[in-house]
Amino acid sequence: MDDQIGIVDTRDFLQEMCAAAGVAGTEDSVGDIVTRCFRPLIDDVLRDAMGNVIMRIRGSAEDPPAVMVAAHMDEIGLIVTKVEERGFLRFAPVGGVDPRNLLAAEVQVMGRECLPGVIGVKPPHLISAEERKRAIEMKDMYIDVGLDGEAARELVQVGDMIALRRQTQDLAGDRMAGKAMDDRAGVATLYEAAQKLDRLRCAADVYLVATVQEEVGLRGAMISTYEIMPDVGIAADVTVASSPGIPPTVDVQVGEGPVLAQGANIHPHLYGRLLHICKEERIPHQMEIEPGHSGTDAWGMQVTKSGVPTAVVSIPLRYMHTTVEMLSESDIKNSGALLAHFAASVDREFLEGFYEDSW
C-alpha cells in the first residue's frame, strides 16, 4: 500500500464529488476526483473507455478470489434540445428527472464554456385559471443563461449537457442534503471501505468501481463487470427512506444503518454472509424486499457474461432524484465497515457451492 498521506475526510470527499457536474455520459470530472482521492488506498487503477474508474486492492492469497463492489458516480440531469431565437434554451431529461423539482432551479450548462443558468416559467400573474389546474410540463420550461440569441448560439449547442446546481448543506446532527447523493454517497461508502481494508487482512482481490451511466441503463456496471469477471459482486447504492407522504410499507429509516436487500437480484449466500457480518461486528442494519429488478448496478453485474452472484447494500436516502437528497453520515460509515468486513471474509472456501462443477 502507498503511504496514507493524502487521505481526506469522507464527508469532504462526498461534498467535493457532489459539487462536480457529472450527468450520465459526462462523468469525467467526478472520475478525476475519485481517482485522486483513492490513490493512496489502492494498488492499481484503470479508467476504461466508457469512463468507469476500476480500482484494485490486491489480496494476499496465491489464487485470490475477485470481489467487486460498485457504486455509480453519474447523476440525473438535462440536455439541450433547442436554442431559441432570443437565447432561451429548451431541454429534455437525462435519467429519471421529475419536472416538479425543476421550477426556479439553478443549472450549469456544459457548453463551449460552463454557463450558469436558471429554469424559468411563465409568472403566476399571467397564468389563467385553467392553467392553474394543470402541472407545469417540462416542455413549457426553459433555461435562461442571460445571453441573447447570437451569443447563446456561439456558446451552446443542441446536445450539450446540463447539470443541476445545489450546494451541499450540513443539517442537524450528522445529516447532509444536496444533489447527486444518488449515488456519490455510494462512492463515499467505497472510500470508507478502502480505508478500513487497509487495516484488514484480505485474501481476495477487491475491485472498487465507480461506474458510469447507471441512471440511463446500468451500462458502466455491465462493461466493468465484463472486464473484471468477479466471483461475487456488491452494488453500493441508495434506497428510499421513510418521510411524510411515503407509503407505510417503506420502513427504512435514515440513521439506522445500511439496508440489505432480499429478492431475485440477491444471491442468498451473499445476503446470509452480509447479515452475519452485521451481527458479528454489531453494525446496525435494516432490510428491504426487492422482488425483481433492484434498479441498481447489481442487476447489470448479475447478468453479465456467464453471470455473477450479487447483493445490494444501500444507504437510506430521503427526497431521491431531487437537489436536496438527504442522508446520515453514520449510514455511510457503517455501510463502508460492512463492505470492508465482507470483502475480507471472502476466500475460496466461501465460494464453494456457488457453482456446479465445470463441464
C-beta separation of 22 from 76 below 8 A: no
Rounded to whole angstroms, how far apart are CA atoms 286 and 277?
A: 13
Question: Is pLDDT above 80 for 359?
Answer: no
Report whether pLDDT(3) > 60: no
How far apart CA 206 and CA 44 sit, in angstroms, is: 11
Q: Using one digit for the tens of pLDDT, what is the confidence trace for 150-203?
A: 999 999 999 999 999 999 999 999 999 999 999 999 999 999 999 999 899 899
Q: Which of 27, 75, 192, 214 is catalytic?
A: 214
- 16-50 per-position pLDDT tens digit: 999 999 999 999 999 999 999 999 999 999 999 99
Q: With bands split at pLDDT 50, 70 and 90, how would you rate the model's confidence at 355?
A: low
Taking residues 3-28, report their average pLDDT. Answer: 89
Determine contact, residues 221/297, Cβ cutoff 8 Å.
Answer: yes
How close are the terminal C-alpha atoms of the chain, in Å? 39
Residue 4 has pLDDT above 50, yes or no: no
14 grid coordinates: 462526498
- Overall average pLDDT of the 279-289 stretch: 97
Average pLDDT over residues 277-298: 95
Q: Which residues does residue 287 pair with via DSSP β-bridges, in sequence order?
A: 260
In this predicted model, what pLDDT tens digit does every residue of 225-267 receive, in sequence order?
A: 999 999 999 999 999 999 999 998 899 999 999 999 999 999 9
Q: What is the pTM of this model?
A: 0.93
The answer to whether residues 70 and 224 touch, using CB atoms and an 8 Å cutoff, is: yes
Does 352 participate in catalysis according to the annotation?
Answer: no
List, in order of start, the domains of the chain with CATH numbers.
10-75+179-351 (3.40.630.10), 77-164 (2.40.30.40)
pLDDT of residue 134: 86
3-state helix, strand, coil in the chain (%, to 5): 30, 25, 45
